[in-house]
Amino acid sequence: MKKHLNNPWVSGTLALLAVLLVANSVMDSSTPSPSYSVEDTVDEYEQDENEETAFSDPIGAVFDASSIKELAAQSSPRNIFERQLEKPEPSEEIEEVALAETTIKVKGIWIQNNLRYVIIDDQTLKPGQSIERVRVLSIEEQGVWVTSNDEQHFIEPGQSWTYRYPKAKDKSPN
């Protein structure tokens, strides 16, 4: 079947038949109109003797160009890619994001067999755990990989790291 659908003559004929069937179903049967058979609209196709078609006799569909033109005239053209965007009103105040700073210090690393721990600011953590807004990614003999606000950093034992994060807004009324 894939062999037949990949043949442009067969797929083109099937597409044309589909258009003809849709046009026939839309067409009003009370108005007499010129009709064309499927054999008149499709070019001659030479079929290999090994090739079989999905249908033996084409469906006797009727194509009416005037009814298609009437349908096209009834529909209004539109741009499907056009999107009405609401422009934000310019605000007079530009809010600046206030950043807070916090410093953490790696005081030690403990590795024994498969167990790995790090001491950060007097708290013992293992990979995957967090302290404040910092998550421990991995612990190595040379140091520890941490992440905060999608920023990764490597800290060696005895070193500190200062990171910034958005300060929480005051919810108290003015």
Q: What domain range includes position 12?
A: 2-74
Q: Which two tokens stand for residue 105?
A: 């210090």
Asked which of 57, 74, 91 is the last residue of a domain, the reply is 74
Helix or strand holding residue 40 (H, E): helix 38-41
Task: Based on the fold, state whether residues 69 and 107 are members of the same structural domain.
Answer: no
DSSP-based three-state secondary structure for 16 = helix
> What is the per-residue pLDDT for 151?
85
Task: Based on the fold, state whether residues 8 and 70 are members of the same structural domain.
Answer: yes
pLDDT tens, position by position, 83-119: 666 766 766 665 666 778 888 899 999 988 889 999 9
Q: Which residues pair with 102 in a beta bridge?
A: 163
Alpha-carbon distances, residue 33 vs 29, 41, 61, 74 (angstroms): 9, 16, 13, 19
In sequence order, the 6+-apart residues with CB closer than 8 A to the CB of 98 are 166, 167
Average pLDDT over residues 139-158: 90
pLDDT tens, position by position, 29-55: 545 555 555 555 555 555 556 655 554
Query: Band of the pLDDT at 132, cuts 50, 70, 90?
Result: confident
Task: Based on the fold, state whether residues 103 and 48 are members of the same structural domain.
Answer: no
